[in-house]
Amino acid sequence: MDDLGALTRTDGMFPRLVRLATSRGGGEEALSSVPDLQRRVVEAADKATLESSRMFEALRDLTGYVTRRERTREMRILGMTRITSEWRRGVDEPWVVLHPALSTVVTGLRSLLDLVSNDSQPDAAVINVNALYERLRDINSWLMALIEQPDENFVYWSSVNQRRNMELHLSGAPLDVASELRSGLFSQDRAHILTGATISESGSFERVQTTLGFDADETLSIGSPFDFKNAALILVPEDIPQPNTPGYNEAVTSAVHDIASATQGRTLALFTANSALNNTRDVLFNQFKNTETQVFGQGRDGPAARVMQLLNDTENAVALGAMSLWEGIDLQDASIDSLVMTRLPFPVPRDPIHEARSENLENPFNGYFVPEAVTKFRQGFGRLIRSRTDRGVFVVLDRRIISKRYGRLFQKSIPQGAVRRVTLGTSSEYVEKWLAGVPGCNQQ
């Protein structure tokens, strides 16, 4: 709502628009209304600024305090949330004033813009104020949906970001996109081609068809051109502690160090939690400080694109990536010799979208969380072999892939998914021998 400040300043785009409307507006009656329009817009903007600050502060308090270990705190906004006294006092009461004030601003801006809408070459002020009008109009409509008229097919939530001065975000997402895509896209009388490396599961497209809402006239699953049996070695240390048990984080850090030492850097390690990534980065940075190996952590040493560029440009680099690096990146030839997946990428159960989309299933874990994790797992594995000449080691530091029944689904999801069980003490030795071409390393 910071945009409202542009309407109350004595300089800038809005006063310029008022001057343009006064000088170019059509008709004496229209011109005489400009000062009153300006006054009403400014007064309403002041009121909206005050009430929005009050409401957003209340929503920030409702969302909760973000601890030092957290990056963000999220709160799903449910029907029961909207009937609490805190919501009524902090959200409903300010909204009673904020909504009509915003509506007055939006209507007034539209009226002023209409007075200058006939210009063949609109002034920069017209363009900018029109963009402001559209933003405020959409914000007003969206807040109306969030507070008064929530859509049953939507999930709404608030989040507070510690890294951005406790900035509050209000978000919404459809629970089911199938009907929207079916009516808005797939019902059109034209051809649609959907391609992707992970849109089929064991050769079946049923899940993606159900999720996206289309009936494919023709499907085709083409095998990989890569010789994964000889291009990739898959290792799982069977003695690593289970996730969320004592010693697990230390074992992960130690394993990444040993593997990166065996490959002289040239390693990408994927994490599911920023806290684990940052802790590992700090330990490895000190351990490799007096060596040629350099350690780069997403977030601490730059955004995802920067870290990937450093990995490509630095000969002995170890890159630690968060969830955004599990997909959509294309490393240059032979950028890495080892890919370490520190944990199976299950969605966070308390995430508002995942919680809402899974809560009505008979078996949410097997029906939603496992398939989502398997898809992300396949995408993560895809960072290793990107061409016919690539060769590397894939290490999974989560023994649930071999100890749990659902682990077989992860193993079967990747080409030539024969997993070699090793120990934490021998994993780096297997990496060195396999990369050196010692025969038999990829056999059980």
The predicted structure's pLDDT at residue 400: 97
Query: Is the pLDDT score of 225 beyond 70?
Result: no
Question: Residue 432: CB partners within 8 Å, gap ≥ 6?
Answer: 262
pTM, rounded to two decimals = 0.82
Q: Where are the alpha helices (DSSP H) in 116-204?
A: 124-147, 178-181
Query: Is the pLDDT score of 30 beyond 60?
Result: no
283's tokens: 């330990």
CB-count exposure of residue 22 (10 Å: 0-12, 13-18, 19+): middle
Query: Is the pLDDT score of 61 beyond 80?
Result: yes
The predicted structure's pLDDT at residue 383: 80
Read off the pLDDT of residues 139-172 as tens digits, 9 standing for 90 and up: 999 999 999 999 999 999 999 987 667 789 999 9
User: Which of 229-256 are b and which e, b meaning 16 or more Cβ less than 10 Å from the residue's Cβ?
Assistant: eebbbbbbbeebbebeeeebbebbbbbb
**DSSP conformation letters of 257-270:** HHHHHHTTS-EEEE
Sketch the domain layout of the chain as residue ranges: 2-174, 178-212, 228-435
d(C-alpha 114, C-alpha 210), whole Å: 45
Read off the pLDDT of residues 94-129 as tens digits, 9 standing for 90 and up: 999 999 999 999 999 998 888 887 666 677 888 888
Read off the pLDDT of residues 173-199 as tens digits, 9 standing for 90 and up: 999 888 888 888 888 778 888 887 777
Name which residue leads in pLDDT, 293 or 67: 293
pLDDT above 70 covers a percentage of the chain that reads 89
Q: From start to end of 267-329, where are the E strands?
A: 267-270, 294-297, 317-321
d(C-alpha 298, C-alpha 424), whole Å: 25
Read off the pLDDT of residues 366-400 as tens digits, 9 standing for 90 and up: 999 999 999 999 888 888 767 777 778 999 999 99
The predicted structure's pLDDT at residue 24: 63
| DSSP state at residue 120 | S
**CATH homologous superfamily of 228-435:** P-loop containing nucleotide triphosphate hydrolases (3.40.50.300)
Q: Find out whether 270 and 342 touch, Cβ atoms under 8 Å.
A: yes
